[in-house]
Structure formats: structure tokens, C-alpha cells
Homo-oligomer: A and B are copies of this chain.
């Protein structure tokens, strides 16, 4: 999606001179039209191919003979510059229900057209790209042999293995704490999973916001996400406290410790969920700012960062409060 619009410099469009009359123009269209030509809109240009206006074919068809093209053409029309980002081109096609938009250079000279079909191809490719990003798998041919595909997918698994050694190291730092309070291991997955889940909600909301309104200011959205995250982190922490207390009570855990362990789980949930909200909100926003596809943030790097932070909070708090 970062390629320039130059790839759309094809010549399957028709230009007309502004001095033409209706009949001359119609004859020109008839002589220039080929199979692949897009004729819904005709582009009116001067001698130097500078775009002066857009003439819908419909207007030409229903126009009466004596009129001149320059009096029929639209002088207010949408166009793309060579450096317009592609996502803006797609938005424009979609938002204004256009079939084709002219692309002009700095001098206003028409260079190509961007069509609804181009937008459709790009958008479908992007959807597939999101899945490839999610799993870091490259575009694979159907005929590639399984062992070659396995080989091409392995490096990413190796990277993730190294990342997970960091989480293992984090846990190992708290060996004494876990040995002393083994029940901590029960709630570890819950805290990590919930931090990941609230992070995914913020991320999805932020990606949708930046996709739907690419030009809107993000500050009010970010602020709102944080308020939402705070409310739900607090609610989840309260529910987590009750759940942990009940869980340990049913397991007949040492009565003198139930309250303190439940409190540690609950406080860790609260802090981890806030951290998850912040990473889920800000990381895609920052990626978007630097024109990186924000869906990259839903990958395992984010998960590892969230996991390590949550483990530090959880086992750190447990060490401080339970030993």
C-alpha cells in the first residue's frame, strides 16, 4: 500500500481537446475506444495535455449538437496527485462512489487513471497481507513443496522461540516466590490472557478508527480508549478478586493467605490491563503515524511485550506482598 500511484500510469483513458464540439468529440471517442478503454469519464485537456475538466460520457451522449466541450465539461472534479498515498486514493473512490479518478503531475498534466477495480485489487491484497503479517508467512505458491514451505516458515518460529526465552527468564527470576506460593502459577495464564484480550480490544478500535477516518485527529480517540480501559480494568480487577477468592476457597487453600493472594491477583490484573490498554492503543497509533500498517501490532511481538510486563507486575507484586 506504500507504492506510489505511478503503477497506475496506463493509457486506457480518453482525452479530448476543449475546443471540440459535441460531434467532433463523439467521433473522437468512437475512434479511440478499444476493448480496455475506460470511457465513463473523458478528460478534457489543452495542447500540453494539462487537465482542464472532466466530461462524463453520459453528458456527451445526451448533449445537443451545437455545444462546445469546454461549456459541457465539469470544472470541479476530484483528482489525485502523483504523491497521493494509495489509501487516500481508495478512500476517495469509495467515499464518492467514483469509477475512475485522473492522476496529474505537478504541472497538472494528466498521467493516468486510478479505477474502482484497482482499489478493489489493492484492498483484497491488503486483507490477505494482514493474515500474512499476523503469521509472518510469505506469499507462497500452491506448488511449493511442504518441506520448502516448512523451511520458509521456520525462521519466524525461531524468533518467537527466542522471545519466549525472555518470558521464561522473567519467570525464573521469581523462583523463590513461586516455590513459596505455588498457587501463583494457577492465575498466571489468566492475567496474561486478560491483558492480551483488553489490548486486542483497544487495538481493534484504534485500527478501525484509523482505517475509517485516516485524517481525523487521534488525540480524542486515544483519550477515550484510555478512559474505557480504566473502567474495564477496574471492573475486571474486582471480578478477578471475587473469582480468585472463590477459587481458592473451593480448593480449601490456607485461610490466612486467601485474602492476600486474591488481592495480589486482583491488583496485578488491574495494572496489567491498564498496560495492555496503553500498548493496544498507542502502538498501532504510532505505527500509523509512521505509515506502517497498524495491524502489524497484533502480532506476537506485542504479545511478548505484554506478557513480560504482566509477569513482572504479577510476580514482582507477589514477591513484595506475599514473601
**B-binding residues in A (CB < 8 A):** 26, 29-30, 33, 35, 37, 39-40, 57-58, 61-62, 90, 93-94, 97, 99, 116-117, 119-121, 123-124, 126-128, 130-132, 134-137, 140, 146-147, 149-150, 153-154, 156-158, 160-161, 163-165, 167-169, 171-172, 175, 178-179, 182-183, 185-190, 192-194, 197-198, 200-201, 203-205, 207-208, 211-212, 224, 227-228, 231-232, 235-236, 239-240, 243, 247, 251, 295, 298, 300, 303-304, 307, 311
Q: Which of B30, B140, B212, B311 contacts A128 (CB 8 A)?
A: B212
Instruction: Report the copy number of this chain in the oligomer.
Output: 2
Q: Is the CB of A227 within 8 A of B300?
A: no
A224 with B168: CB separation less than 8 A: no
* A30 & B62 in contact (Cβ 8 Å cutoff): yes
A-B pairs with lowest CB-CB distance, top 6: A135-B204, A164-B190, A150-B231, A146-B227, A131-B204, A116-B116
Q: Is the CB of A157 within 8 A of B193?
A: no
In terms of DSSP, what is the predominant structure of the interface of chain A? helix
Residue contact A185 to B200, C-beta cutoff 8 Å: no
**Chain B residues whose CB sits within 8 angstroms of the CB of A160 once the complex forms:** 193-194, 197
Given contacts A164-B189, A182-B175, A298-B134, contact A127 B128 (CB under 8 A): no
